[in-house]
A and B are shown apart, each in its own frame.
Chain A
């Protein structure tokens, strides 16, 4: 592990913490409808949108109305994306004349982008037209992130309000989140990416002559002499910016953020990682401000930073030490080489920035990748998998991370109440049986989906195993990662699994849908119930949620719930693979 790598990791988290307060303060102002610098420009746009759509911005919604509005919006946008893909060959902005996307793949992709997962069973540059990328996919990058943001703010209002039946207006939160937060930042970010060399055009793909001809063996066994290469183009920067800021992660190209047109320099790599954590970190400050307890926001952020550090230090350590099977090869860091396990990693990023990116993208539910997680060492690969299995709450997705973390907060407060034998209270609100029932529903759906789908897939060789590249514990890891990534709405792939089959397309679509919406419903039920409650003044028996002790308890609950639920399957997958690798067996 190089000092240089550690410095970059610490510089990254320092930048995140530095930006959390201004970002959180800005979002508080936006969602509390206070004045901001952008009002003169965006105010008229907002009012026009409400007039056009008939939205009454002053009308408040109950948790049920709020959730229904969200479901209707998601259903409509999902259908739009499905239709655009199915008829893309008849629509403009398709210079490569790409055909219609097959129905099962179109469904998978529509669900994937609607749920902020951005799982990609396809190769974008040979499947999606420019119009589909812009109208079907990039728009969802904004909408799904804005939906998550709106839901998180509604949950925070549920905590902050007293004896209230409503949580805000979904349409207003959706509009303000998109116009004030996502659009301006992603516009500036896109321009920064263009300045670094990320492409932004609507040109047909370029064909270039190779410097040296290559002999390629085709699927039919015939050897052909290849003299040219097609270089894909497209409106990449505009999609890339919101892909990272909205923790979406769906790449314009198949290689995602490892592609030089998506992520050309160490600076763009740093900015991309920073933008993944920007809103989730800011939301902890928003939480503190809106519930009038800034220290509670910092305590939650503290738990996130602890879990992030545990992940990145493990991944960095594992990847720096390289593959133990190459004991005769020099894998040490030196001026001449990166050292460690460089398989599947870009030389321009190296070990530290690959380990950091993998941790950041799976802590948040982003799913963009700048290295291939499948090529990590077993322990290195265990980190991204575990990050998602913890429930995507270590910073987490835009909004989704915050409301997921708040469900864990309720569970932690409940456990603390049990330990001292008093009715648990959270910021003056009594946590009762209904809140805990809903919290448990939220927490149990997640492992249920992952483990059941993975088990079915493993038991059906014709469906699930036929497109698997590796066997043994590594193969189990690939299947487990796919369903974990889908259910956790992360979207990153472990690779080694060809997921563009009817079975994977349909089953992953169900996992993504249920992993998003069936977890949102109980979360919103908790928010609605909390809003109804009175505030009880703190007493000697109240467990404080603003101290380091609370951070430790919260971290412990997250780790124990995640570790206990998934330890058996992890021990059969990456942990067993690690032990067998040391014993000399590869998979």
Chain B
């Protein structure tokens, strides 16, 4: 399979990507779950960084 054959259906159907990743014998069990976990973790980390940025900015207005 070349890149074109992979990407074209993948644009319309994300399940295709997962199905193809799952077909790989060396991919550990449950690639869907781990992918989702990785994505959720990344979103949480970046959200935490943004909240933290806002917190540091707001702290400036407060004086002890």
**Residue positions of A touching B, CB distance < 8 A:** 64, 67-68, 71, 75, 78-79, 82, 86-87, 89-92, 99-100, 102-104, 106-107, 433-434, 437-438, 441, 502, 506, 509-510, 513-514, 517-518, 521-522, 525, 529
Q: Is the CB of B52 within 8 A of A90?
A: no
Q: Is the CB of A434 within 8 A of B45?
A: no
Give complex CA distance A100, B27 in Å: 7
Q: Is the CB of A433 within 8 A of B64?
A: yes
Q: Closest chain B residue to A62 by CB distance?
A: B57
Q: Which residues of A contact B28 (CB under 8 A)?
A: 102-103
Size class of B's contact patch? 20 to 34
Q: Which residues of B contact A103 (CB under 8 A)?
A: 28, 31, 34-35, 37-38
Q: Is the CB of B21 within 8 A of A71?
A: no
Q: Which residues of A contact B37 (CB under 8 A)?
A: 103-104, 506
Give complex CA distance A87, B59 in Å: 43
CB distance from B56 to the nearest CB of A (A): 5
CB distance from A47 to the nearest CB of B (A): 31
Given A90-B6, A510-B45, is A71 in contact with B56 using a C-beta cutoff of 8 Å?
no
Give complex CA distance A547, B64 in Å: 33
Q: Which B12-47 residues sit within 8 Å CB-CB of chain A?
A: 17, 20-21, 24-28, 31, 34-35, 37-38, 41-42, 45-46
Which residue of A71, A100, A104 contacts B24 across the interface (Cβ within 8 Å)? A100
Q: Is the CB of A510 within 8 A of B56?
A: no
Q: Which residues of B contact A104 (CB under 8 A)?
A: 34, 37-38
Give complex CA distance A518, B45 in Å: 10
Q: Is the CB of B26 within 8 A of A99?
A: yes
Counting chain A CB atoms within 10 Å of each CB, the highest count among B17, B49, B56 belongs to: B56
* Nearest 6 interchain pairs by C-beta: A103-B34, A99-B26, A107-B38, A525-B56, A90-B6, A103-B35
Q: Which residues of A contact B8 (CB under 8 A)?
A: none
Q: Is the CB of B41 within 8 A of A434?
A: no
CB distance from B60 to the nearest CB of A (A): 5
Q: Is the CB of B1 within 8 A of A90?
A: yes
Which residue of B31, B50, B57 contacts A525 across the interface (Cβ within 8 Å)? B57
Q: Closest chain B residue to A71 by CB distance?
A: B49
Q: Is the CB of A87 within 8 A of B27?
A: no
Which residue of A91, A100, A433 contacts B63 across the interface (Cβ within 8 Å)? A433
Q: Closest chain A residue to B36 by CB distance?
A: A103
Q: Which residues of A contact B49 (CB under 8 A)?
A: 71, 513, 517-518, 521
Q: Is the CB of B53 within 8 A of A82?
A: no
Q: Closest chain A residue to B26 by CB distance?
A: A99
Q: Which residues of B contact A529 (CB under 8 A)?
A: 60
Q: Which residues of A contact B42 (CB under 8 A)?
A: 75, 78-79, 82, 107
